[in-house]
Structure 1
Amino acid sequence: MSTALWVTRPPRAHEFQLRSRLRTPAVTVPAGAGALATLVTALGSWIPSLWGDEAASALSAQRSLPSFLHEVTHVDAVHAVYYAALHVWVALFGASAFSLRFPSAIATGVTVAGLIVLSRMFTASWRLPILAAVLAVALPRLDFAGIEARSYAWTAAVATWIVVLAVATLRGRLPASAGWAGLAVLCGAGAALNLMVGSLIAVIGCLAALWGRGRRAQLARWAAASAVALVLASPIVLLGLLERHQVAFLAHRPVPATAWLVDQWFHDPLFAAVGWLLLGAAVVVVAVRRDAALDRGLGLVALLWAGLPSAFLIGTISTLHNYAARYLTFTAPAVAILMALALDAAFRSWRPAGAAALALVLASAAPADLAQHGPNAENGSDWAQFGAVVAAHARPGDQLAFDEVVRPSRRPESAWRLYPADFRGDAVPQLITPYWQRHTWSDELMTIQDAAAQHRFTAATVFAVEADFPGEGVVDVRGVPSLEASGYHVVEHWKLHSDDVYMLDRDPVR
C-alpha cells in the first residue's frame, strides 16, 4: 500500500473508538486545565532573581557525570533524581532563569490535571474539580514551588498521581495486580525524588484499611507494594541518611508556629486566616454531610493526605529537627481539595454565597502570589540586578570581589555562575577550586582580605559586592577596606535590595 493511501484511508473501528475517547471531557478538561495552569504559573517566572538553592540545582545539573556522581555521594543525594532530570533539560534548553524554572511550572500543570481526574472519581459535576484546579493555582505554596528551580513542585505532581492511582486501585477501577504494581513503582519514584513523598505510603495504608471489602487482601497487597517501593528508593534513602548532616542547621533554627500556620501552605497571614477557615469548614462538611461518595470519600483522602505527613513533621520538630515548610509542598494539593470541598458546599447551599466566597479566597491569595513574582522574591536575592550593574559598567579584564561572610545560600558569588553573560571577561582572583572539582555545589573562594594580602587584585577596576542581610555579615572583616588598603578607591556605589556593589579603581579618575 502506498504512503498516500495509508494516510488517507478511513479509520478502522477500534481507531475511531480510541479517537472518540481522546476527545471526551474526561481527557480534554484535565489536559487543557493542566496546560493553562502551566502557562499561568510560568507567567513572570523569569522576573525574580535566582537564589542559592536554585544555584545548587543549576550548577549540579551542569556538571559532568563523574563530577555529578562525586557530588551526590557526598551531598544532596536527596535531590539527585531532580538534578539528573534537570541536566537533560538544561542540555536541551539552556540555563536561563526561565528555562530552569519552567519544568516546575509544568509540574504545576501535571498537579492540576491530576486533581481534576481525582475529583471526578467522586462526583459527576465539573464544579468541584474546577474549583480544586483554580485553588491549586492560587495557593501560594504551589505557586512558589512552580516558579522555583527545585524539586518541590514535582513532589506535588507525583504525590497527586500516587493518590489518583491509589484511589483507582482501591475502588476497583484498575485490576488489583496492575494497580498495586504501579503504586509500588510510583511510590518508589516519589520517595527517590524526595524522601518526604514516601510518607504517602502510610496514607495509602490507612485508605486500604478503611475502604471496601477484602481489606485483609488489600493490606497484604499494600504491604508488598510498600516493600517494593522502599527497595526501589533505598539507594537514595540510604545516601540521604548518611548525608543528614546537611540539614543539621535545622536543629539550631527555631520553628515558630507561623511556620506551619502560615508559611506551610498560605504564605500570607490574611490568606492563612481565610484558608484555615475553609479547612475547618471542610472538616465539618466531611463529618456532617451525607454525600458519602463525595464528602466522606474525597474528603477523607484529602484529610489523610494533608494531615498525616504534616502531623508527623510538626510533631517531631523537637526530636528529629527535620521541619521546613516547603518540605510539605506535596501536601498542598490536598489542601486545595479541602478548600474546594468547602466552597462547593457553599455553592450547593446558595450559589451567590459560593461565588462570593470564591472571590474572597482569590482576592486574599493575590497579594502573596503577586509578591512571589517580584524581582527579589526568592530569599531576597538581587543577583540579576547585580549582574546587570556589572554588565553595564565593566570592561574586559576587570576583576570581581565577593563577600564571604553570609551563609552559603546568600553568598553573591553565585551570581557569577548563574548569570555568566553579565560577567563575561571578568576574573575572580579569590577562586581556589571551581565547584565542579568539589563534592559540594559551590566554588571554594578565599576571602577578599586574603586575596588582597596575596596581591591577587591587579586589574585597573574591581567590582566588589557585599551582602547586606539583617543579622548576617561581620562589618569589621568585610573586603572593601582591604581593597582600599591595596590602593583602590571607591568611584561608584549601588545599593541593591540585599547587596551593596562597589566599583573601585586604582586611579580615582576612570
Structure 2
Amino acid sequence: MVCARSRPTRRTEVLAVTVPAAVMLAVGLWGLDRGGIWRDEAVTFQVARRTVPQIWRLLHGVDAVHGLYYLVMHAVLAVRPGEVVLRLPSVCAAAAAAGLVAALGVRLARPRVGLWAGLLYAVTPLTGHYAQEGRSYALVAGGAAGATLLLARALDGGSGRAPDGGSGRAGRAPADGGAPRMWWAYAGVVAATCLLHELAALVLCAHALTLALLRSPRAVWRRWARAAGGAVAVLLPLVLASRRQSRQVEWLPVPDRESAEGLLRAFTAGPEGAVFWCCVTLMAVGLLSGRTAAVMAPVMVVPPAFLMLFSQVMPLYHERYVLYALAGAPLLVAAGADLVVCRLAALAGRSSRSRVVTAAGVLAVALVFVQLLPLHRYYRTLAHRPDNLAAVAALAAREVRPGDPVLFLPALGRRAALAYPAGFRGARDLALKAPVARSGTLYGREVGPRELQRRLAGVDRLWVVAEPYALRSRWFPGDPTERLKLVAVEERFTPRWERERSGVTLRLYVRRRPGRASAGGLPSPAGGPPLPAGLPASDG
C-alpha cells in the first residue's frame, strides 16, 4: 500500500521544512502581546531577572525542574525584560518544532507528507497556546522532535537521506549501529531536553519501542542504550532534587478517561466535529505507513499513556508535560492522507506525484485553520489564562495609597506585586520579612505570628489581596502566619470595600472599634465620596 516514489530534489525538501516553520512563526507572533502575564509566566519573569547565584539558591528549595529554563531566560531577559521577550523563546522553539516535524515527514515518507504534517502541527491550537507562553514546554517539544529526527538519522546510518530514498518502508538499520557522531548528538539533545523538563525522559521509552518495532540489530540497541544511559546519568541529579520538591505538584488530579479523550482531541487539531473525526480516521490509516508509524506512533502514545498510568498511584499528569508527544499526531495524519491519495490514484490508474495533490493537502490544512480560527483567537485573549496579574496590579495602583498596609493571603498572592511592582509602589507589605531574591524563595519569607500580631496592632486600615479560595470558610491553612492573617482580618477588622479582578480579590478592611457599628460611610479608596454600607461583594 506504498506509493512509488522518485527521489525528491533538495529544493523541494528545503521548502517542505521551511514553509511550516515560517507559518508556525507567524502563528506564534500573532497576538503575542496580550497586555498581561499570568501566574506561571510571572514566576519565570521574576526568577529569571535574579542573579545566577540567587537562581541557584532558589533551585535548592523549589522549582529545580525548571532550573535550566530559568538560566536560559536569565540571558534572554537581560537583553530587554518584557512580556513579548518573555514569550519569544517559546515562539522560536515552536517554529523549530514545526520544521523538525516536517523534516521527520520528509525523511520517513516524502516531502509532501512532511509539508502537510508541519503545517498541521503549526495550526493546531494546542501548539499555538504553548508557543505563546513564557514557560519551557515549547522548548521541550522542539528538543524532543529534534531527538527523534536524530534517532531516525542514526538508524539510517547518519546519512542525509533514508536508505530507501524516503519510501517510508520499515527498513532495517545498519548492522554496525550507525555513525557514532549521530548517537553522540542524539544523547546530547536528549540530555538537554530532559534538563529543561525531566518528564521529557519518557521519549526514551517511545524510542525504545521504535527500535523494537523496526527489529533493530543488537549493535543499534547497544549504541542507543549507551546514548540513553548517558542522558539519564546527566538527568539523575535533577531527578533526585525534584523528588524532594514533589509537594509542588500535589494539586494535580488523577487523570481519567476524560483526560485521555481531551488529550486526543487537543492532538488532532480540533476539539470536536468533522475535523476531529477526519484526523482520527487518517491517523488510523497512518498506522499502516510502515516506518513512519514505527517512529511516530510510539512518540504520540507512549509518554502520555505511561504518565497517565503512573499518575493513578502518584499524580504527575498534565497535558503540558507531554506536549512533545503532539509531534506524532500530525505525522500520522499526513501519512494516512498520503496513503489514501496513493490508493485512489492507483484505482484511477493515475500518478499521485503531481503538485496538484500537494497543493490540495495544503488547502485542506488551510481550511482546518479557518475552522479553528475562533479557538485561536480565544487562546490569544487574557480570559483564556487563569488570571491576569496586570489587571490586579492596575486595580491596586488606582486604589492603594502610598504607605497603606497590605496583606497577601496567602503569600503566593504576592505574585502580582512581584510581576508588576509599580502597581503596589509605596504600599507597606505587612507580613514580609525578607524579599524573594534575598530569601531564596518564590514569594518571599514572611514574619512569624508573634511579629505579625505586633505589626497588626498599629493598623486601623488594611488592604488584603486574596486568592479566591482564601476568603472561603472551608479554607484553613496549615502555616501559622497564614492562619493568623485569616483569623485577624475576620475577628479584628470589618470589610468595607471590595473589587475583584481576574479571580483575585482586593478588599479594604477597617479595625472594629468598641461601641461603634461596623457599618457606615468611609472615604473611598481612591479619595472619592464616602462609600455606603452594604456594597456588593464584587463588581463582576
The one-letter amino acid paired with 1:495 is E
Kept after mapping to 2: 8 A contact 1:67/1:437: yes
Q: Among 57, 62, 78, which residue is 1:75 paired with?
A: 62
Q: Among 301, 306, 313, which residue is 2:307 paired with?
A: 313
The one-letter amino acid paired with 2:101 is L
Report the CA distance between 1:475 and its aligned residue.
8.1
Question: 2:192 aligned with 1:201, yes or no?
Answer: no
Aligned mates of 1:241, 1:483 — CA distance in 2? 36
Report the CA distance between 1:110 and its aligned residue.
1.1
CA shift digits 1:240-273 (9 cap, x unpaired):
23433433444xx343322221157619996256
Select between 476-485 and 139-148 the one with higher mean Cα deviation.
476-485
Question: 2:94 aligned with 1:108, yes or no?
Answer: yes
Q: Among 27, 32, 38, which residue is 1:51 paired with?
A: 38
1:496 maps to which residue?
501
Report the CA distance between 1:70 and its aligned residue.
2.1
Question: 2:136 aligned with 1:158, yes or no?
Answer: no
Kept after mapping to 1: 8 A contact 2:405/2:429: yes
Normalising to structure 2: TM-score of the pair? Answer: 0.75
Report the CA distance between 1:107 and its aligned residue.
1.0
CA shift digits 1:119-139 (9 cap, x unpaired):
1113444x3323222222222
Residues 206 and 255 of structure 1, relative CA distance in 2, 3 Å threshold:
closer
Kept after mapping to 2: 8 A contact 1:104/1:149: yes
Kept after mapping to 2: 8 A contact 1:203/1:308: yes
2:282 maps to which residue?
282
Question: 2:332 aligned with 1:327, yes or no?
Answer: no
1:455 maps to which residue?
456
Aligned mates of 1:236, 1:322 — CA distance in 2? 16
Q: Among 335, 360, 378, which residue is 1:341 paired with?
A: 335
Question: 2:190 aligned with 1:187, yes or no?
Answer: yes
1:400 maps to which residue?
406
Residues 111 and 503 of structure 1, relative CA distance in 2, 3 Å threshold:
same
Report the CA distance between 1:283 and its aligned residue.
4.4
Report 1:27-426 matches (<5 A): 27=14, 30-31=17-18, 33-47=20-34, 49-94=36-81, 96-125=82-111, 127-174=112-159, 176-211=179-214, 215-250=217-252, 253-263=253-263, 266=266, 271-272=271-272, 277-278=277-278, 280-288=280-288, 295-345=289-339, 349=344, 358=365, 361-363=368-370, 365-378=372-385, 380-404=386-410, 411-426=412-427
Task: Find the residue that maps to 2:108 and give its secondary structure.
Answer: coil
Residues 93 and 318 of structure 1, relative CA distance in 2, 3 Å threshold:
same
The one-letter amino acid paired with 2:58 is E
Q: What percentage of aligned pairs have identical amino acids?
A: 22
Q: CA RMSD in A?
A: 3.7
Task: Find the residue that maps to 1:413 and give its secondary structure.
Answer: helix
The one-letter amino acid paired with 1:176 is A
Kept after mapping to 1: 8 A contact 2:254/2:311: no
Question: 2:442 aligned with 1:441, yes or no?
Answer: yes
Kept after mapping to 1: 8 A contact 2:417/2:424: yes
Structure 1 gaps of 5+ residues are: 1-22, 289-294
Aligned mates of 2:268, 2:229 — CA distance in 1? 39
Normalising to structure 1: TM-score of the pair? Answer: 0.79
Report the CA distance between 1:336 and its aligned residue.
2.4
Aligned mates of 2:206, 2:318 — CA distance in 1? 20
Task: Find the residue that maps to 1:495 and give its secondary structure.
Answer: strand
Q: Which has the higher helix share?
A: 1
Residues 467 and 234 of structure 1, relative CA distance in 2, 3 Å threshold:
closer
Structure 2 gaps of 5+ residues are: 1-9, 160-177, 346-356, 477-482, 512-521, 528-540
